[in-house]
């Protein structure tokens, strides 16, 4: 595959996705918005389903969501084919150092059962999976374009706004760090802190480590480990965080992860997760229930149904705060007219 053809095809898919975001989504939402606000506010998932699911606009919307993503990864000019052909170059470059593994490490079954995001083989099963994931993630939030990177910096600012963490010598853990996109801004801002970054995917960890080396980030240790079994000692962590991890785990796994976080946090320590949870109305819930299936993210839907405040209180966390997160300055989460993820920060403290 010529690189030029690959780039053109990927650009085509991205511009199609932008039309989907800006024109198709609002067209489907229009059917909900024409109803009176007092009717809309009483609607449930099933009501929205009956209202829109048989309309041509919704069918086209849903079809495009599934198949544009499929083309991005598996089509004739897809990311998988492109990196597979260049396997030797990337494979060698990406396999120099041995990856540190967590205690009794093994990949969970849930993780291997699904090709997450429709990436063939998931983001773990071949040496170039991290590179594919990195390239694919550049267009996950099409409206943000190149500002997608800023989302992680904005979140790191929120995470570290308590200056204690920025200026003091803290221990921070980034759970499910992927190829290091969420870790990098934390490491850049909290220069005096030590950051532990872990993920299940070996190719992602290798890429994350290489990027950190390139960027001279010496305050991060990467390891291949399960966020539910971190190997950290009890009460040794000041701040625990994750970005887009919770929705990729089954309900039981999320509860295990939150309990593990409680165990490793110091008394008074904080956890802040960025994920998808608060939605403005039943229409968006319907759209993201569908996204969960169309994008091969089966656990997203079960996260939506979880009673997080109760679960966190049962584990022992206090001062739980769940809020919408503005992924860019110009976005109003309550009134955004185009498709966007329901970004949500989920914050909590371990009692002193």
Ligand X SMILES: C[S@@+](CC[C@H](N)C(=O)[O-])C[C@H]1O[C@@H](n2cnc3c(N)ncnc32)[C@H](O)[C@@H]1O
d(Cα 309, Cα 317) in Å, to the nearest integer?
9
Least Å distance, CB 36 to ligand X, is 38
Residues in contact with ligand X, total (CB under 6 A)?
Answer: 21
Least Å distance, CB 180 to ligand X, is 8
C-alpha neighbours within 13 Å on the C-beta side of residue 156? 23
Binding of ligand X by 200 (CB under 6 A): yes
* Choice between 156 and 287, CB closer to ligand X: 156
Report which residue's Cβ sits closest to ligand X.
178
Residue 142, helix vs strand vs coil: helix
CA 201, chain centre distance (Å): 14
* Choice between 245 and 265, CB closer to ligand X: 245
Binding of ligand X by 71 (CB under 6 A): no
- Residues 317, 287: contact at Cβ < 8 Å? no
Least Å distance, CB 142 to ligand X, is 16
- Residues 223, 99: contact at Cβ < 8 Å? yes
Binding of ligand X by 340 (CB under 6 A): no
* Choice between 226 and 238, CB closer to ligand X: 226
Binding of ligand X by 273 (CB under 6 A): no
Of the candidate residues 201, 223, 344, 345, the single one contacting ligand X (CB under 6 A): 201
Of the candidate residues 65, 210, 248, 327, the single one contacting ligand X (CB under 6 A): 248
- Nearest Cα neighbor of 294 from 54, 48, 70, 17 is 70
Cβ within 8 Å of residue 193, ≥6 positions away: 165, 168, 169, 170, 171, 172, 186, 219, 238
Least Å distance, CB 298 to ligand X, is 13
- Nearest Cα neighbor of 346 from 285, 264, 261 is 261
Looking only at residues 154 through 193 of this chain, which bind ligand X when binding is defined by CB under 6 A? 176-178, 181-182
- Nearest Cα neighbor of 349 from 261, 273, 270 is 270
Of the candidate residues 52, 69, 187, 199, the single one contacting ligand X (CB under 6 A): 199
Looking only at residues 203 through 232 of this chain, which bind ligand X when binding is defined by CB under 6 A? 204, 226-228
Cβ within 8 Å of residue 250, ≥6 positions away: 110, 299, 302
- Nearest Cα neighbor of 220 from 154, 282, 173, 270 is 173
* Choice between 40 and 138, CB closer to ligand X: 138
Least Å distance, CB 226 to ligand X, is 4
Of the candidate residues 20, 90, 111, 343, the single one contacting ligand X (CB under 6 A): 111
**Residue carrying the six token digits 């991005």:** 72
Sign of CA dihedral 265, 165, 345, 201: negative
Binding of ligand X by 123 (CB under 6 A): yes
Of the candidate residues 62, 173, 244, 265, the single one contacting ligand X (CB under 6 A): 244
Binding residues for ligand X, rule: CB under 6 A, are 111, 123, 176-178, 181-182, 198-201, 204, 226-228, 243-245, 248-249, 253
């Amino acid at each position: 595959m010529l690189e030029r053809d690959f780039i053109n095809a990927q650009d085509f898919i991205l511009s199609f996705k932008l039309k989907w975001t800006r024109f198709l989504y609002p067209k489907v939402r229009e059917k909900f918005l024409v109803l009176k606000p007092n009717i809309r506010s009483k609607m449930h998932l099933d009501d929205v389903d009956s209202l829109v699911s048989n309309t041509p606009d919704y069918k086209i919307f849903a079809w495009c969501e599934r198949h544009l993503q499929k083309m991005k990864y598996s089509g004739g000019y897809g990311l998988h084919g492109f990196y597979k052909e260049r396997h030797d170059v990337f494979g060698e470059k990406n396999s120099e150092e041995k990856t540190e593994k967590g205690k009794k490490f093994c990949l969970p079954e849930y993780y291997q059962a699904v090709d997450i995001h429709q990436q063939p083989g998931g983001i773990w099963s071949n040496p170039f999976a991290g590179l594919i994931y990195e390239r694919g993630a550049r267009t996950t939030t099409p409206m943000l374009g190149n500002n997608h990177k800023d989302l992680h910096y904005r979140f790191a600012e929120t995470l570290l706004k308590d200056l204690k963490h920025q200026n003091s010598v803290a221990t921070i853990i980034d759970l499910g760090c992927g190829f290091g996109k969420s870790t990098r801004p934390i490491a850049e801002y909290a220069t005096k802190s030590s950051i532990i970054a872990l993920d299940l995917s070996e190719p992602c960890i290798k890429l994350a480590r290489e990027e950190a080396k390139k960027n001279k980030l010496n305050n991060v240790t990467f390891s291949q480990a399960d966020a539910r079994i971190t190997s950290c000692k009890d009460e040794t962590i000041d701040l625990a965080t994750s970005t887009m991890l919770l929705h990729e785990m089954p309900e039981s796994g999320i509860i295990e992860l939150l309990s593990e976080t409680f165990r490793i946090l110091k008394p008074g320590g904080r956890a802040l997760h960025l994920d998808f949870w608060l939605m403005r109305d039943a229409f968006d819930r319907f759209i993201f229930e569908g996204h969960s299936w169309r994008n091969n993210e089966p656990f997203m839907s079960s996260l939506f149904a979880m009673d997080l405040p109760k679960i966190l209180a049962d584990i022992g966390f206090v001062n739980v705060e769940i809020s919408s997160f503005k992924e860019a300055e110009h976005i109003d989460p309550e009134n955004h007219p185009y498709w966007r993820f329901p970004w949500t920060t989920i914050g909590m403290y371990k009692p002193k």
